[in-house]
Amino acid sequence: MVQTIPAKMPEGAIVSGVEKPWHHYLTLDLIVNVLSYTVLHPFVAWMIPLCLRAQATPYDHPSMYVTVAWASLLTVYGILGLINDRIAYGPPREVDLSEEVIVITGGASGLGALIAEVYGMRNANIAVLDVKKFSEDEAEEKGIAYYECDVGDPKQVEAAGKRIVEDLGVPTILINNAGIVHGKSLLELSSEEIEKTFRINTLSHFHTLRAFLPGMLEEERGTVVTVSSVLGHLGAANLSDYTASKAALLAMHASLEAELARDPRGQYIRTILCKPGQFSTPMFANVKTPSAFLAPVLAPVDIAKEIIRLVDGGRGGTIAVPLYARWIDVLGVLPAGLQYLVRRWSGVDNAMAGVNPSSAKKVGTEKKG
């Protein structure tokens, strides 16, 4: 839905008819992002001692010691970060979109659709696998090849894979994004619903990897994106099937990286793990974040731009946003009592209280963290 915002805003911004104060949009992530480009950036930090010298400040002045030490610390930290990424994910591979074939599952709506349309506008070779059927005119208009396919069915994935190779070429970039959620308690879930969640959220990754990874290994180039969720670490009430399916992806992705490391051709494959927080999608419109400051709700574009940045750069890595998602592993090493208090304070187990399960089922391919 596109909203029209007046050029001159009133005292509080108006979103969906509700006036919100300016500080509503002030988040921890925004503050850290601003700091990272200012006082926490090595280049900016080195400007301070240079400016002091321009004012004829002696080298032995305390201000020079402090500013040089601070700039040196940031520089060393940045270099260590680059070394860490190089060891963990290998050197970037060269990516030429004209020679790549990108496959996106669940690309009919939400995050997947946004990524597909961005690459479609850049004239890349895009293949979307989704149960939704698109007309040829719509596909041609967007520059995207749509393949009607239930990614939870290995036979359909295999058949779609063969058609993609014939139509576009060997896929070299795979973005596993498809997912559903039911929003029911464990006792309310039917066996069919549980199986469907795992077929689409988890088993689909196995099916697509079995279909497309061999081609990447033969081509000796490729990128695999696994879209999981921060809830895979946490679990949450009324999301037992969803969180379990996403937790399985965390282990599957780690195993994939381990197997690629054992294969000599695996050094040419880059892997990206995406574990975001809450998404602002229609089926979770009634979900309220416990803290807009510490845990802001993400727009699909927030994740899409990070995925596209790493894919275009031929890099591997982990995408964990908002900021708390980067440190969620720390929760697991805290004493059990403290973990209980953190969960109570965060409100994670009450987040689904306002969601209508029937509305969640209607939008099966949209994503939420």
* pLDDT of 198: 97
Q: Could you tell me the residue range of the domain that residue 329 belongs to?
A: 97-362
Domain membership of residue 80 (yes or no) is yes
Query: 33: phi > 0 → left, psi -120 to 50 → alpha, else beta; which?
Result: alpha
> Do 111 and 80 reside in the same domain of the chain?
no
Domain membership of residue 246 (yes or no) is yes
Using the predicted structure, report yes or no on whether residue 1 has a pLDDT greater than 60.
Answer: no
Give the pLDDT band of residue 6 (cuts 50, 70, 90).
very low
Minimal CA–CA distance to 126: which of 138, 144, 111? 144
Q: What is the total count of domains within the chain? A: 2
- Among the candidates 89, 110, 129, a domain finishes at 89
> Do 162 and 59 reside in the same domain of the chain?
no
Domain membership of residue 16 (yes or no) is no
Taking each helix axis from N to C terminus, what angle separates 154-167 and 204-219, rounded to the nearest 10 degrees? 30
- Among the candidates 47, 71, 89, a domain finishes at 89
> Do 39 and 173 reside in the same domain of the chain?
no
> Do 51 and 200 reside in the same domain of the chain?
no
Give the pLDDT band of residue 27 (cuts 50, 70, 90).
confident
Domain membership of residue 14 (yes or no) is no
> What is the length of the chain?
369
pLDDT tens digit sequence for 198-242: 999 999 999 999 999 999 999 999 999 999 999 999 888 888 999
Q: State the residue for tokens 């689909």.
A: 204
How many Cα atoms within 13 Å fall on the side-chain side of residue 98? 0
Using the predicted structure, report yes or no on whether residue 315 has a pLDDT greater than 60.
Answer: yes
Domain membership of residue 6 (yes or no) is no
Using the predicted structure, report yes or no on whether residue 9 has a pLDDT greater than 50.
Answer: no
pLDDT tens digit sequence for 275-305: 998 877 655 556 667 677 888 888 889 899 9
Using the predicted structure, report yes or no on whether residue 3 has a pLDDT greater than 60.
Answer: no
Residues labelled catalytic:
242
Q: Residue 88: in which H helix or E strand, if any?
A: helix 62-89
Residue 251 structure tokens: 């282990």
Highest mean pLDDT among 26-40, 282-296, 342-356: 26-40
223 near 174, Cβ under 8 Å? yes
CA separation for the pair 318, 295 (Å, rounded): 18
CA separation for the pair 14, 362 (Å, rounded): 28
CA separation for the pair 64, 368 (Å, rounded): 48
CA separation for the pair 119, 83 (Å, rounded): 30
Over residues 309-322, mean pLDDT: 95
> Do 47 and 186 reside in the same domain of the chain?
no
Residue 305, amino acid: K
pLDDT tens digit sequence for 67-90: 999 999 999 999 999 999 999 999
Residue 180 structure tokens: 């559903």
Using the predicted structure, report yes or no on whether residue 356 has a pLDDT greater than 70.
Answer: no
